[in-house]
Every structure is written in C-alpha cells, then in structure tokens.
Structure 1
Amino acid sequence: MGLPILQCSVAAALAWLVATEVFGHARPFFAPIAVVICIGVGFGQQRLRRVVELVVGVSVGIGVGDLLISAIGAGWWQLALVLGLAMMISVMLGGGTLVTLQAASSAILVATLLPPGGTGGLDRMLDALIGGLLGLAAIALLPGDPPEIVRRRGQELLGELAAALTATADAIDHRDREVAQEALRRARTQKAGDDYRDALRAAREIAAISPLHRRQRTMIERYTRATEPVDLALRNSRVLLRRTRTALTDDETFPQTLPVALRRLAEAAAALADALGTDGDLGDVRERVKAAVTIIDAGGIEHTGFSATVVTAQFRSIAVDLLQATGLSHEQARGFLPAMG
C-alpha cells in the first residue's frame, strides 16, 4: 500500500505544478484528482483505459454543465437536470462506470461551484489529461515489483494444486474420505486464482509502460501462457478429490502405485512454479510429470471400481494440463506421456 500512496503524492503535486506554472490555470483541481483515479490503490485496473475514461467523463460533465447552466442559471432543479443529462449522455455513448461517475461529478462542480462559460471547460479537460498522464508516468518510473508479486501468486496457485494432489494421496493411503472432503472444501474456498490473475494483469500492464521491467516481459509471458492450463488443472483437481471421496465411500480399490504417483505430480507442480518464476528448465518439469505418470502400471487399473478409474483418468488429465503450462500443445502433451491401460 505504501507505493501507491507515494505515487499519488508525488504525481499529484507535480500535476498541480504543471497545470499552474506551465499552463497558468488558477484552480486545476482536476489534475491531482486525475492522478489519484489513474493510479488507484490496487493492481490490474487497466490504467491506460482509465485515463481515457477520465478525460471523456470530465469532458461530458463540463460540456453539459457549461451549456445548460449558462442558459438556465443555477439552482436545485438545474442541478438535477444537469446531473441527469450528463449521466444519460455518458451511458448513451457507451461509457463505463468511471466515465459516468466522472461526468456526474464534473457536472455537479460546474452547476454548484464553478462559473460556466469562457475557456474554463477546456482548461479543466486539459487538467484531467495532465493528471492522467503524470499518473501513468509515476507508475512507469516508480513501478514497484509487480513481477515479484506474480511469482508469489503463482507459487500460491500451484501450491494449491500440489496440496490437492497430496491430500488425495493421503486420503487413499489412509482410506479416509474425510481427508478428501476437507481438501475439497479448502479447494472450493481458495482465492489464489483471482489473486494470481489480478497480479498478472498488473505485471503485464506495467511491463508495457515501464522501461524498468521490459526485460521481464518474457517471464511474464510464460506465466500468461500457463494461466489457462493451470486453471484447468485446478478444476480437474477438484473433480479428482470428489471422485476420491466417492470411491472411498464405496470402498473401491485404487491402483497401488497411485498415491506415490500423485505425490510425484505434486512435486512437479511445485517445480513448475519455480521454473516459471526463475526462467528455470521447463524440460525438467516435463520429465518430472512424465515420471509421475509412468509410475502407474496398466495392470493395476483393470481391477478398480468406476470412481477409482475416474480418479486415475483425472490424474492423467492434470498431468496433461501441467505439460501444457510448460508450453506444449494439447496434442504434444498427450503424445509426451506413456500410454495407460
């Protein structure tokens, strides 16, 4: 939280100085306001788009306010009319929430505090642009370390997958359906996926505008390519846990080597997290996944129940997902693995 506060403080002061000293604006309050809106207090908020939305919203609000208040005067019903029209025009133009709210706030200021007419409207639009651009500059020059946040979130996400695989192995080893049930409950309530995607969006955005992080674009792209396969692996892990719980409830037999294979696959997931974040060897991760699948012998699958067979199939699906996360296509991943009976 400290970095966004620093960015807002420095950029807002600079925006005020530029608007007053360079452009000679007497009260450029929209400049520091634009800085705060542009930077915000979080990551992954599409700041380039927000600058455009901010300027459009301010323009609509000031334009409607200047025109109407100049013609009909100021008062309570004039305020209602100006506010309603500014918001309606923003919506009709296809503006999002930020555009509509900025149009409304700008119209209110014009209708209640600021004298309409003259060049005030153009000056305020320029102030909004100055603030937005300086906000982007603050993000580019004081970016923090969003790639490091992506690494941490990626570790958490793949750690969640590894935990689900390990819990499945524990449940099978101990013939305890409650272990699978508890792991399934945790998997359903985790927010690691949302946190990871937010961090990744922020890292991609900052890498695009900050010269300090351009060298890390390759690493960020590796995470981007891995996002969908890892998400599929997590979904498959929940199916794996549900079917494990069902198989244990029905007292079905599992392949004897399945728990060992699950733990090896969990280790491969952890290795993938390290490789993505450190430019490690993705080929080594692939070999780990292949070794985990190889552990299960075809003969053991023939004598299992329906749910236990599904568990084994889901295990292989997760292995394919992890291979795709290393950059292989679906067909390449399937062909890379040994056949299972």
Structure 2
Amino acid sequence: MNDPSAHRMTRAERLRQGLTGRVRAGSSRGRQDALSIGRAAVAAALAYLLSHLLWGHEYPFFSSIVAFIIIGFGTETKIRKVVEMSAGVMLGVLLGELARSTIGPGTWQIAVVVFGAGLLARLLDSGNLFGFQVTIQSLLVMIMPVTPGMTPGGRVVDALTGVTVAILIHLLTTGDPRSVQRRAATDFFQELEDTMVNLALAARSGDVRVAQAALRSVRISSQSFTDEWKVANEAANEMATYSPTAYRHAAGVERLQHLLIGSDRAMRNLRVIARREVEFLTAVNGDAHSTLADALLAARDAITELRAAVSQDDVDFTAARRSLRLFGSYLTPELLLKNDQGVRPGRAGHFEGVTLVIQLRSLAIDLLQATGLEAKDAKRLLPSLLIAADGESIGPRPLTREMKAVEPPATTEALELLITDRSDPLRRRP
C-alpha cells in the first residue's frame, strides 16, 4: 500500500524545490538588472530634485515617473527605444494637458482622451511601446489632481525634465557595450558546441536517433540565438555611436559584429550538417564512425576557443584558428567515410557521406572567415580534394604539375594569418 506520509513528503519536496527554483531565478534576475534599477532610481530622484529646484514645483511627480519609465529595467535598451519612449511620453502629456484645459477632468472625458490618444498613437507609429506611452501619460494627466502652484503647462515642463535626465543618464552610464554582444555570442557558441557533441555521439555510436534529436533541437532553437546576437549588435553599435563613455569600444564592437557574419553562416551550415549526418547514418545502416566523431569533436574544440576569445578584451583568434586547422585536417572523404572496421560505404552511403564532408568543409571555411581570414586563404588551409584513379584505388595523390595549376598550395600569407595574426585581418604582427 502507498504510504500517505511518503506522498505528503513528496509534495513537500516538490514545493520546496519549486520555491528554491523561483528564488534562484529571481536572484539571478536581480543581479542582472541591479545596475539598470539603480540607474532608474537615480534618474527618478534627480529629475524630481531638478524640477523642484529649477521650476519651483512643489510635487513634480511627473519628472520622476517619466525618468523611471524611460530607463526601465532593461539592461540592453537601445537609444532608438529611449527616443521612442520619450516621444510617446511627451505627446501623451501634451494631449492630456490640452484635453484637461478644454473639456476638463471627469469620467467621460477620460474615455474620450484615452480613445483619442490611442487612435493618434496608432496613426503616427506602429509600435506598441509608443502607443502605450502616449495613452498612459495622457490618462495620468487627466486623473491626477493639480498640485499647489502647478500651472497648466507645468506638467509638460516636468515631463521634459524627466526625459532629459533619463536620456543623459542612459548615455553616460551605458558601460561597456561589448558585454551585451559577449553574452549573446557565448549563448550562440554554446548552442553550436552542444549540437556538435550530440552529432559526435551519434557518429561514434551509429545511432540515427541521436542525430535526429540533434537535428530537431538545432532547427527549433538556432535562429533565436542568431536573432539575439543581431539585436545585441544593434544595441552595442548605438551605444558606441551615441554614448561618450562607450565610444572608445567602437573597434571592439565592430569586431564582434563581424564575427556574427561567419558564425551565422556556420549555424545555418550546422543545420544542414545535422540533416546530412542523419541521411548518412541511415544509408550505412547505423555503422559506427569514430573518425567522423573525432572530427566533430575537433570542431567543438575550435568553437570553444572562439567562445573563449570573445570574452577577452583584446579578441585574439590565434588559438581558435589552430583548432580549426586541426578540424580541417580531417575533412576528406578518405578519412571520414570509413567505419570502425575500416570498410568504405556502398554507393548510397558514399554519396551521402561525400555531401556531409563537403558541408563540414564549408563549416570550417565559415568559422575561419569569422576570425578574419579571407575566403581564398581559408580554403587553402583545408586538405586537397583533388583525386586520381589508380586501378580500383581512388584517393589523394601527390600534386602533379597539372594539379598545381588547378589548386595551388597554401600561401605563406595564409599560414602567417593562421599562426600569428589576430581578429582583424588588417592588423599584422611586425
């Protein structure tokens, strides 16, 4: 029989775990947004003080309200969003003041003002944020009592003071804009790493179901990581452009923006790679391919080095390029398509396997380009795919004069970039 006390203990344990999880998540949010909340608190207090000192308003609550709303809780607020909110706030206060001075306060007047402000906001801008600010500010003007000494235009002046204080504090206290990009890039590369590990596990075990699960996962979530990084790039670029404290980081912001170009292509390639691996393992009836798994883990190691480089103040991709060179050394059909018994796949498996190898080579080129290499130099760092037939043996052969004319060896410049150069291809070591 079931023990009721054990059942109660289970429910209590679940409740404890749920509360612990919520407290942990709340603490994490608090730590993440502590700086932004502090900025909002300072902006609200400073706007209130300035309105009181400059304009002589006894209770300038609109200054505090506006300043706090514009700063908000977000740590990645873009200047475009700040300007949009400021415009909405000012328009809403002006509409509220105009309505209060013409039709006066009251129940039906509130309905008229909210309806009119909402329609005007939708006419001027499609953003919900702008419409919300126009409507709520006009409503606040209508429902709040007039404080002693407040003139009809006083609330407009208070709102303008709050807007000015909020924008100045936002521009002067944005911090390092690269931190926003780094968080997004770290999450992005972590997704790449996790997918590579799952695909390596599928190749080593020959289990098609593991590869199918990895394919489903990367299809569902990969685009969101790319979009998050794009938004972070836009926010960081605006910070570096408009904020005097963030301008010195403009070069680093641009470097991390450039990193997304090749990385985005790599993420798209990874979705195709996962699908090709599913098709390859299906064609070879689930044979184990440990060399393919080793190649995928080498790609994972290179991506780990990319993620580590992003967190550095002076982004250096030297280690990442060396790891990518190791990954590239695996990328020939002769190495990757043999199973653990040394047997080559049949006709169907060979076709699927070759397409997988080509896609992996494309991934290596994308990641090398992300570190600053030109496409032509990145391609020269991969092993040759030129083959020659000798009876029944087909595979790489020493380059003849004719082959050299088609595929020149890796250039000295490409090798120097691989070993010594940093993220900016124009920055050479003397």
User: Normalising TM by the smaller chain, what interval?
Assistant: 0.7 to 0.9
Query: Which position in structure 2 is the counterpart of 1:235?
Result: 268
TM-score by length of 2: 0.68
1:242 positional shift: 2.3
Instruction: Give the Å deviation of 1:224.
Output: 1.0
2:88 aligns to what SS in structure 1? helix
Structure 2 distance, partners of 1:134, 1:25, is 17
Q: Please tell me whether residue 249 in structure 1 is matched to residue 282 in structure 2.
A: yes
Cα displacement (A) at 1:80: 1.8
Aligned residue in 2 for 1:66: 97
AA of the residue aligned to 1:97: N
Contact 1:290 1:338 in 2 (8 A): no
The corresponding residue for 1:276 is 310
After TM superposition, the structure 1 = structure 2 runs for residues 99-248 of structure 1, keeping only pairs within 5 Å, are 99-114=130-145, 120=151, 122-143=153-174, 147-148=178-179, 150-187=181-218, 188-189=220-221, 192-248=225-281
Change (3 A) 1:109 1:95: same
User: Structure 2 vs 1, CA of residues 87 and 267 (structure 1 numbering), >3 Å: closer, same or farther?
Assistant: same
Residue 197 of structure 1 deviates from its aligned partner by: 4.3
Question: Match for 1:81 among 112, 122, 126?
Answer: 112
Residues 80-128 of structure 1 show CA distances to partners (whole Å, capped at 9, x for unaligned) of 222212222222223632222222122223333356xx99564333323
User: Is this contact kept in 2: 1:44–1:198, CA < 8 A?
Assistant: no
Structure showing greater relative contact order (alpha-carbon pairs closer than 8 Å, 6 or more residues apart): 1
SS at match of 1:25: coil
Counterpart amino acid of residue 305 in structure 2 = A
Q: How far apart, CA to CA, are the structure 1 residues paired with 2:258 and 2:157? A: 39
Contact 2:332 2:383 in 1 (8 A): no
Q: Secondary structure at the match of 2:271?
A: helix
Aligned residue pair count = 339
More helix by share: 1
Question: More displaced, 3-12 or 251-260?
Answer: 251-260
Are 2:339 and 1:324 aligned?
A: no
Is the 1:44–1:200 Cα contact (8 Å) retained in structure 2? no
Tell me the alpha carbon deviations over residues 235-256 of structure 1, each in whole angstroms, 9 at most, x when there is no partner: 2212212221232223267987
Aligned equivalents of 2:179 and 2:101: distance in 1?
Answer: 53
Structure of greater Rg: 2
CA contact (8 A) 2:302 2:324 kept: yes
* Segment drifting more, 242-251 vs 182-191: 182-191
Deviation at 1:14, TM superposition (A): 0.6
Q: Distance in 1 between matches of 2:174 and 2:99?
A: 42
How many Å apart are 1:293 and its aligned residue? 1.8
Equivalent residues of 1:158, 1:270 under 8 A apart: yes
Give unpaired runs (5+ residues) of structure 2.
1-32, 338-343, 387-430
Are the aligned partners of 1:236 and 1:318 in contact in 2 as well (CA < 8 Å)? yes
Alignment counterpart, residue 297 of structure 1, candidates 332, 355, 377: 332
1:20 aligned partner, one-letter code: H
**Identity over aligned pairs, percent:** 33
Q: Once the two structures are superposed, what CA deviation does each residue of 1:39-70 show, in whole Å capped at 9, x if it has no partner?
A: 22123332x33343234323333333333443
**Aligned CA-pair RMSD:** 3.2
Q: Structure 1 122/340 Cα, relative in aligned 2: closer, same or farther at 3 Å?
A: farther
Structure 1 residues 73 and 169, CA, compared in 2 at 3 Å: closer, same or farther?
closer
- Which piece of structure 1 moves more, 187-196 or 97-106? 187-196
TM-score normalized by structure 1?
Answer: 0.84
Are the structure 2 counterparts of residues 241 and 103 from structure 1 closer, same or farther at C-alpha, using a change threshold of 3 Å?
same
> 2:60 is matched with which residue: 4, 15, 28?
28
Question: Does the CA contact (< 8 Å) of 1:58 and 1:125 recur in 2?
Answer: no
Deviates more, 1:95-104 or 1:205-214: 205-214
Shift of 1:280: 4.2
Tell me the residue number matched to 1:5.
Answer: 37
Shift of 1:336: 5.0
